[in-house]
Structure 1
Amino acid sequence: MKAGNYQRLRELAGQQGADIFGVAATEKLAKYIDPEIAEAASQMPHIISIGIRLQKSVLNTLTDAPNQIYKTHYRQVNST
């Protein structure tokens, strides 16, 4: 990926609230890609990963599995 494109995408992600951002060549991650999307992913030269930190107080409510508080918070974060 061209450096200018990377910088622009990183800036856009940050403007939208991303806490972490990364780009990798798809071919380097092929073994980690779910078989269900592997064919589609192979047509794309890069994979972009964007992360948003969840509230610690919400994560502290988890024991063995996602609960309603977590699910609601997760949906809210992913809708932005």
Structure 2
Amino acid sequence: MNIKAHINRQTFVRLALVGIIPLILFVLFLWAGGWLTPERLTSDKLVNVLQQSGGLHEGYRRNHAKGVCVLGKFISNGNSIK
């Protein structure tokens, strides 16, 4: 009878580990995705604050002025075709 109780306890512990590990991974994915912390800092929130303090600069990226945003069209002349 004691051996059977020990086996049942071992089985329960193993099954609990099999269930707990995926549950922990699931919770970590939820946390990483921001589902558990909706007030978490995101890239959009950060850029909005930077734009509020520094102002809007037309023709430049929102987060810094180290790059210029341009709009255009590429027309190939066909010289690279072999």
Alignment TM-score > 0.5, same fold = no
Which structure shows the higher strand fraction?
Answer: 1
Higher Cα Rg: structure 1 or 2? 2
Greater RCO between the two (CA within 8 Å, min separation 6)? 1
Q: TM-score, normalised by structure 2?
A: 0.22
Q: TM-score, normalised by structure 1?
A: 0.22
